Amino acid sequence: MTADAPHADITTEVLRLLKAAAKESVPLRAIGGVAVRLHVAEERLPGLRRQPNDIDLVTLRGKSKDVTTLMEALGYSSDSEFNYTNGHRRLLYYDVENRRQVDVFVGAFEMCHVIPITERIELDPMSIPLAELLLTKLQVVQLNEKDQRDILAILGHHPVGESDDETVNAAYLAQLLARDWGLWRTAKMNVERTRNSLPSYDLPEADRLAILERLDQLWQRIDAEPKSTKWQFRNRIGDRLQWYEEPEEVK
């Protein structure tokens, strides 16, 4: 396979990667800030716009070698030592010219919490579904400003409902959180943070109200989902025991 060198524009580059992966039948999807960019209109809600610095992707278990072959053919250098040790769960590649890193999660998203982001990988040809994309942001215990912007951008551009296809699937999120108290606890904390952060962003009043309504719709659906026995037992312990992992810093 022959290909051009990586593009300086990050959106153009992630589209190039995804197109090449599809051509070679390598299951690869965008996550993170670049995935949010693929789902939002740049001209809308400029007060939420941000520029991602790196590219985050996800692939299926057992596909690490295929991903490495693809990335190297597309002009990236592999972090051989890291990939040899961690390739069953995470891979790193570098675009030296543009000083950009590509982080590929394998099989699941493991940061503060473990999220099964490949179970529905076939639903969208470009990124993980919006529900999982939102959850990768809601799972951040030490929520930073860029993740807060991404949460607001997703909810500012997309309705909350019971399905996918440019809709945040609250039913699917409710099922995941009903089984995992820790993930539920962090998501609840970040829904509250998001609500409190809204006045600090330059947004039209109609969009601000729409985001608030969608936050309410989302959490009402999560609250309504019957919780597992494991969830209920962990709920009795509450915050007395740490409910999240400290994410590994690899950048």
pLDDT in tens, 183-231: 999 999 999 999 999 999 999 999 999 999 999 999 999 999 999 999 9
Mean pLDDT of the chain: 95
Does the pLDDT at position 168 exceed 80?
yes
Distance, C-alpha 163 to centroid of its chain: 18
Residue 45, domain member (yes or no): yes
Residue 1, domain member (yes or no): no
Residue 246, domain member (yes or no): no
Phi-psi category of residue 210: left, alpha or beta, with phi > 0 → left and psi -120 to 50 → alpha: alpha
Residue 4, domain member (yes or no): no
Structure tokens at 108: 């699941």
Phi-psi category of residue 95: left, alpha or beta, with phi > 0 → left and psi -120 to 50 → alpha: beta
Of residues 77 and 2, more confidently modeled: 77
Residue 185, domain member (yes or no): yes
The range of the structural domain enclosing residue 96 comes to 10-240
SS3 (DSSP) at 57: strand
How many domains does the chain fold into? 1
Residue 159, domain member (yes or no): yes
Residues 6+ apart with CB under 8 A from 59: 26, 27, 28, 29, 66, 67, 104, 105, 106, 107, 118
Can you tell me the distance from the alpha carbon of 224 to that of 201, in angstroms, rounded to the nearest whole number?
Answer: 30
Can you tell me the distance from the alpha carbon of 72 to that of 196, in angstroms, rounded to the nearest whole number?
Answer: 44
Can you tell me the distance from the alpha carbon of 184 to that of 191, in angstroms, rounded to the nearest whole number?
Answer: 10
- How many other CB atoms are there within 10 angstroms of residue 63's CB atom? 20
Residue 247, domain member (yes or no): no
Structure tokens at 19: 């197109």
Confidence of residue 46 (pLDDT cuts 50, 70, 90): confident
Residue 106, domain member (yes or no): yes
Residue 103's pLDDT is what?
A: 97
pLDDT digit string, tens, across residues 86-95: 999 999 999 9
Average of per-residue pLDDT across 10-16: 96
Does the pLDDT at position 251 exceed 70?
no
Average of per-residue pLDDT across 90-110: 96
Give the pTM.
0.94
Residue 188's pLDDT is what?
A: 98
Confidence of residue 250 (pLDDT cuts 50, 70, 90): low
Does the pLDDT at position 1 exceed 60?
no
Residue 165's pLDDT is what?
A: 87
Residue 248's pLDDT is what?
A: 76
Can you tell me the distance from the alpha carbon of 85 to that of 34, in angstroms, rounded to the nearest whole number?
Answer: 26
Can you tell me the distance from the alpha carbon of 184 to that of 178, in angstroms, rounded to the nearest whole number?
Answer: 7
Q: Name the residue among 60, 15, 59 with its Cα closest to residue 34.
A: 15
Q: By percentage, how much of the chain surpasses pLDDT 90?
A: 91
Does the pLDDT at position 7 exceed 80?
yes
